Chain A
Amino acid sequence: MKQTFEQSEEKMLVTRLQKGDQTAISDIYDRYAEALYGVCLKILRNNTGMAEDAFQEAMVKIWKYAASYNPEKGRLFTWILNITRNTAIDYWRKMNKRSEIQNDISDVHVSNPRMIRNPNTDTMDVEDQLENLSSEERDVIELAYFSGLTHQQISGQLELPLGTVKTRIRRGITKLRKIYRAN
């Protein structure tokens, strides 16, 4: 029932957004800002100034291109999240254009992934279960998801066989899937 309610609520939000109702952006902010800003911070290595800029640009894009969102292709939040993630990754790439991407690995892992965590009761149970995701699995997923690296690039950066990278990502996501399905 909860899922159905969320779905209908999201549907209404999409309708408002696509009709050009700016309060829809306000609602999206209220619902998702912490998750989206957290992703920006993670991608931009806790650089708050850049994370704010990236987040702001992403929200403008979400507003501007709302009409191109197709509910048949997945949830609104997935679309929003991917726009935000791609915008932040672009920011990071532009900033690092001249420096070696080598910094990625150390930087992305220096910051504790759960350093700034919202004490959300919904995710408290998840935290324990997340221990099931090995650090190797988390590393490769983070490099893909937050640094925008492909299998091939991760393999080169971590000096791991391509097959190992693929397996770790796949296994990691399978574990995450169980964790989040259980919740």
Chain B
Amino acid sequence: MNIKEYIASGILEAYVSGAASDQERREVECLSSVYPEIQAELNLLEDTMIGFANEYQAPPPPGLKDKIMASIGDEAQVPALKTVTDHSDEEVTDEDLNMDSSAVKRTNRDPSNFPWRIAASILLIVSCGLLYFLITLEDDYESEIESQRTNITTLQDKLDNLSHELANQQDQLAILSSPSILKIPLAAANEEEQGNALVFWDASDQNVYLDPSQLPSVDDDQQYQLWALKDNQPIDLGTVLKGDIGFQQMKKATEADAFAITLEPLGGSEQPTLEQLKVIGKI
């Protein structure tokens, strides 16, 4: 919040019209005592209300002025709080003080209240500062909350990714540490081919896992496919997912002498395209 925004908020109009709540009124009084801009704006609005009040002018009955002058004739003025420690001001009688308030009387007679007054002034200034700080804070909160929300979303995404990756790693670790697992490296099938792959075959439960991360990337309309070879007969173990998928579980292989990967049209083939044999590894 800045002063301009505060002035534009309509709270000063509420204040001068009398519609502000007690809390709002205290706030305006506090802030206007600290910020001259708010005080200046308040004065302009008060002048406006003078104009409004003047619309209801009515002549008072004759004789009222005399009554009023007579009633103030006996009344002594109450010194302002800021001057009550001034002992030269002895015009105030006990009677007046009794009539006004015992608080004023106490204040007037107790010279030791001076530090309290300083303390109260400091407290007022601190309160005003705190109030402004809180209002500013409330306003800044909006944008702050929004940016924090974005941060949280980003971090949440990162965390999700990491959790996913960790789960993958743990799966891989569990597979690799199994005593019955066989690790079969698949090397380039000929000199023209590049890349390699790893097949993990668990003979006890026939599960097959593939790490295709070292294979070259392929065109959009193509896909790698894993085969088990048994007595030179290919057995389809499924197509390899595209993208950075890490470790992938393939179809089960009950028996195999070797594993091979061919490049096939998207979706895979029933029989391997032998010209497109990329990597192969024997058990």
Contacts and interface: CB of A to CB of B under 8 A. Distances in A.
Contacts, number: 179
B211 interface: no
B61 A145 contact: no
Interface string A142-183: 001100111110100000000001100110011011011101
B46 to A, nearest CB: 4
Interface residues on chain A, size class: 35 or more
- Interface of B, secondary structure class, is helix
Contacts of B18: 85, 144-145, 148-149
Nearest to B19: A144
B256 to A, nearest CB: 75
A78 interface: yes
A179 B80 contact: no
B55 A59 contact: no
B126 to A, nearest CB: 20
A176 B51 contact: yes
A41 B58 contact: yes
Interface stretch (B67-75, B148-156, B186-194): B67-75
A177 B45 contact: yes
Contact of B72 (A60, A81, A114): A60
Contact of A113 (B56, B61, B71, B75): B56
Interface residues of B, number: 49
A29 B65 CA distance: 7
B54 interface: yes
A114 B17 contact: no
Given A67-B78, A145-B17, A59 B58 contact: no
Given A55-B60, A59-B68, A169 B43 contact: no
B21 interface: yes
A3 to B, nearest CB: 11
Contact of A166 (B14, B16, B54): B14
Please indicate which of the listed interface residues A25, A65, A72, A177 has the most CB atoms of chain B within 10 Å of its own CB. Answer: A177
A129 to B, nearest CB: 11
Contacts of B52: 141, 145, 176, 180
The 4 closest A-B pairs by CB, nearest first: A180-B51, A67-B80, A144-B19, A38-B58
Given A35-B54, A118-B57, 14 more contacts: A22-B69, A22-B72, A25-B69, A29-B65, A64-B77, A75-B43, A78-B47, A116-B57, A118-B59, A123-B55, A149-B19, A150-B19, A165-B19, A177-B44
